[in-house]
Amino acid sequence: MRKTYIAVVLLAVIAIVGDHLTSPSSGRAVSPEDFAGACAPCGAPCPVKK
Amino acid sequence: MSTTTVSASVSTSPRIDTLFLGAAVLATAILVALVLLDGQTASAALVLGGFALGIAFLKAEFSYTASWRRFLNRGEAGGLIGGLIVIAICALAVVPVAALWPGFGGAIAPLGPSLLIGAFVFGIGMQLANGCGSGTLYTVGGGSGRMLVTLAFFIIGSVLGSLSLPSFLALGGINPVLASDYLGPWGGLVATLASIALAAVIMAAVAKKRGANFMPSRTYIIGGIVIGVLCIAVFFAGGHPWSVTFGYTVWGGKIFAALGFDFSQAEFWQWPGPKRALTGSVLSDTSSLTDFGMIFGAMAAAAATKRYAATAWPPLGSLLAAAIGGLLCGWGARIGFGCNIGAFIGGVASGSLHGWIWFLAALPGCMIGIRLRPLFGMSRD
């Protein structure tokens, strides 16, 4: 199991760093709730528009 | 098995697993450095807040899943009441600040079939997976191979849930109901704390009726206070209550997109928040930042005391339950607007009615999940 963990941790860190370096710079970290019209933590819209 | 053998094995077991302790600290340092290079101190705080949460959860063995199970099986309410301590502490900051301070918001969600179905399914999954959103993070970090399987399927289920959510929202519902909208920030806080106290009284009454203990253990009280304070810190750093499972959806979306899946026709991924999360850096998503921190915090805490991930893989039945449970948790969390953390703790601590509805809908799901556990060779307890 230790070998599995070593592989998973390595892959995860490489993937995170790779994704960060290849994605457009975005500034402040945000949650989907920060966007207009979001009505849930995942950014789903409200049933009735406010 | 002689005493000599035990002594020998104990003496040869390292007290500190330097490899994994070093890996956890180094990985965290890399993430913190990357966000600080972009000038994002709040992001660094979220990673470190997650790291501290990982340590706190692991050390207190704070398990919502086991608490639900003990309550439903034996009437023991101490674990759930310990969980309410977290919510009450968090609410002290979230309800007034979200109502009064621009730039901050509570965890809200629409009320409707989607919430009920999602929470119910999540309840089943949580008992099969043997962990909820936060539980999966800290047990994965703690070195449980079984929970690696849960996490993988949690992520897959979460992406499937993202594809189903618009259809479930179309079934109807009403806008979020927030106590502070009706009673003001301080009236909303009083109502929220009163609802938590009422829930604690009901849980204690049920425990008493069943002849079970309802007092949280000392570890749970201390753990609950520490976790509650950390929840407030995460709230101030991220602007919203702590959430876990949206991070899983983002990771899954990115993995599936890298494998060639096209989300351009998927409604969920066209909403502004998910769309930005899919295209932006994973380190610009608040829930991912605390999730990563939590895994590495639990890893550091586990590796600091014993040989890390030294247990054998569990039986196939248990792994199958981990996979099915993870899948149901992921799907249910997306349809039901979160897990114990994002929907229950975050929702109730925000004074949002959906938090309590989520709890009540997850309860029967848990009962079914507990009944299903023996089919996979797992104890009902």
pLDDT tens-digit profile of B269-288? Answer: 999 999 999 999 999 999 99
Contact criterion met (CB below 8 Å) for B158 and B268? no
Residue A38, classed as helix, strand or coil, is strand
The model's confidence at residue B258, banded by pLDDT at 50, 70 and 90, is very high
Burial of B183 (0-12, 13-18, 19+ CB in 10 A): middle
- What is the structure's pLDDT at A27? 80
Average pLDDT estimate for B24-47: 96
Residues of B in contact with A7 (CB under 8 A): none
Max alpha carbon distance in chain B (Å)? Answer: 68
Q: What is the pLDDT of residues A1-50, one digit of tens each?
A: 899 999 999 999 999 999 999 998 668 899 999 998 899 999 999 988 76
Cα distances (angstroms) measured from residue B203 to each of B67, B82, B88, B110: 12, 11, 15, 26
**What are the structure tokens assigned to B260, written together?**
């060639």
Residue B102, classed as helix, strand or coil, is coil
- What is the structure's pLDDT at B131? 93
Task: Give the total residue count for chain B.
Answer: 381
Average pLDDT estimate for B205-211: 96
Average pLDDT, chain B: 94
Cα dihedral B305, B309, B313, B319, rounded to 10, equals 90
Contact criterion met (CB below 8 Å) for A22 and B267? no
Cα distances (angstroms) measured from residue B173 to each of A47, B106, B116, B231, B235: 6, 19, 11, 29, 27
Residues of A in contact with B162 (CB under 8 A): 42
Average pLDDT estimate for B242-251: 96
Residue B3 pLDDT more than 80? Answer: no
Angstroms from A7 CA to nearest CA on chain B: 12
Question: How far is Cα B173 from Cα B101, in angstroms, rounded to an integer?
Answer: 28
The ipTM, to two decimals, is 0.95
Q: What is the pLDDT of residues B46-89, one digit of tens each?
A: 999 999 999 999 999 999 999 999 999 999 999 999 999 999 99
Nearest chain A residue to B289 by CA distance is: A29
Please tell me chain A's helix, strand, coil percentages from 3-state DSSP, rounded to the nearest 5: 50, 5, 45
- What is the structure's pLDDT at A26? 66
Cross-strand bridge partners of residue A45: A38
Interface test with A, best of B40, B276, B299, B313 (most A CBs within 10 A): B276
The model's confidence at residue B13, banded by pLDDT at 50, 70 and 90, is low
Question: How far is Cα B205 from Cα B221, in angstroms, rounded to an integer?
Answer: 19
Contact B289 A29 (CB under 8 A): yes
Residues of A in contact with B311 (CB under 8 A): 1
- Nearest by CB to A1, which of B311, B337, B343? B311
Each residue of B29-63: b (16+ CB within 10 Å) or e? eebbebbeebebebbbbbbbbbbbbbbbbbbbebb
Angstroms from A41 CA to nearest CA on chain B: 6
Q: What is the pLDDT of residues B158-198, one digit of tens each?
A: 999 999 999 999 999 999 999 999 999 999 999 999 999 99
